[in-house]
Amino acid sequence: MRTICLPAPGHEPLAQRLANLLTVEQGSVDTRRFPDGETYLRIASDVKNAQVVVCASLAAPDGQLASLIFLAQTARELGALSVGLVAPYLAYMRQDIRFKPGEAVSARLFAGLLSDTFDWLLTVDPHLHRIAALADVFRIPATRVPAAPFIASWIRTNIPSPVIIGPDVESEQWVREISSLADAPCLVLEKRRLGDHEVVVQGTLPDLSGKTPVLIDDIISSGQTMANTARLLLAAGASPPVCVAVHALFAPGATDALRMAGAARVVTCNTVQHATNAIDVLPGIAAELPAILKGIATTY
Ligand code: R5P
């Protein structure tokens, strides 16, 4: 059965890399904005009777939604057998409850929208905290690829005497797994979020002399979680920390915040294209895809 990787606009490098790793065809999609800002989209490859893998990392998702839906639906209209989504970063998962009355629970709504649009989803380390599993919010087969083995391998190769440190309980799942895989000690601190750009990180620190602190979190957005953790460590006499995150969202000001807080180095996985990408997790995605495509093929 023919498989074709189709890039959503702006995600051509992702589609090309996955197509190469899977040794399948890379499709091409023409898009532009009409003068009024609406989206023009044309699938320039033959998708009839093919299994289509749409490739799109979903940082800054709102501007991508129309083209994502148009792409999936057009592929179906042109005869694709199935249309799945590889989204190395899955947006909106942190808004997972109604924190204040009247709020949208965006994680559930966004998952519902993607479930209406695609036959399956594959992502890397979604922010699962109050929602325990992707199956709790997706009505389609949804697979999580863990970044921990790739991060642990990078730490083993690059960091002498690492201590793995999580800023908050939400990071604990990654911290424990990476600590075990990298054979390094770990500790988890406490964080209170006071606002989008304001967090307080606290905790009791052991003697870290002679060690390299490695801060681990799933996401760097404003950078304040990592920056405040770095400040806490430096104030306690630790060496400047290496900050490692899965998803490099980097809202405006994040890079400066981390530099000013005294981070020795900032390193991320390539789930969102960014200058800090140093850990390649795409082989993990490519390893999962054949089984997903085989499973979907049995449903035709
Ligand atoms: C939330 O709990 C996540 O795990 C991250 O800690 C958070 O998204 C980081 O955000 P920021 O960089 O804005 O502090």
pLDDT, tens digit (0-9, with 9 covering 90-100), for 224-267: 999 999 999 999 999 999 999 999 999 999 999 999 999 999 99
Which residues' Cβ are closer than 6 Å to ligand 1?
94, 127, 170-171, 199, 217-225
Q: Dig out the tokens for 219 from the structure.
A: 């996401």
Residue nearest to atom 5 of ligand 1 (CA): 219
- Contacts of the segment 135-142: beta carbons below 8 A, 24+ positions apart: 137/107, 137/108, 137/111, 137/112, 138/111, 138/114, 139/112, 139/115, 140/114, 140/115, 141/292, 141/295, 141/296, 142/111
Percent of the chain with pLDDT over 90: 97
pLDDT at 299 over 90: no
Name residue, tokens 């990298």.
182
Amino acid at 112: G
pLDDT at 300 over 80: no
* Mean pLDDT taken over the chain: 97
Mean pLDDT of 145-169: 98
For 40-75, the pLDDT digits (tens) are 999 999 999 999 999 999 999 999 999 999 999 999
The residue among 131, 297, 166 whose CA lies nearest residue 241 is 166
Q: Where are the alpha helices (DSSP H) in 94-143?
A: 106-117
Residue 144 CA to residue 151 CA, distance in Å, equals: 16
- Select from 129, 217, 226, 232 the residue to mutate for testing ligand 1; criterion: most ligand atoms less than 8 Å from CB: 217
pLDDT band at residue 135, thresholds of 50, 70 and 90? very high
| Distances from the Cα of 4 to the Cα of 122, 142, 149, 168, 291, angstroms | 15, 19, 28, 40, 15
Q: Dig out the tokens for 82 from the structure.
A: 């199935």
- How many residues are present in the chain? 300
pTM of the model: 0.96
For 166-203, the pLDDT digits (tens) are 999 999 999 999 999 999 999 999 999 999 999 999 99
Q: Where are the alpha helices (DSSP H) in 81-222?
A: 106-117, 148-158, 172-182
Q: What is the reported pLDDT for 27?
A: 98
pLDDT at 298 over 90: no
HSE of 123 in the Cβ direction (CA atoms, 13 Å)?
Answer: 29
For 104-122, the pLDDT digits (tens) are 999 999 999 999 999 999 9
Mean pLDDT of 70-86: 98
Which residues carry out catalysis?
Answer: 191
- Select from 89, 130, 221, 222 the residue to mutate for testing ligand 1; criterion: most ligand atoms less than 8 Å from CB: 221
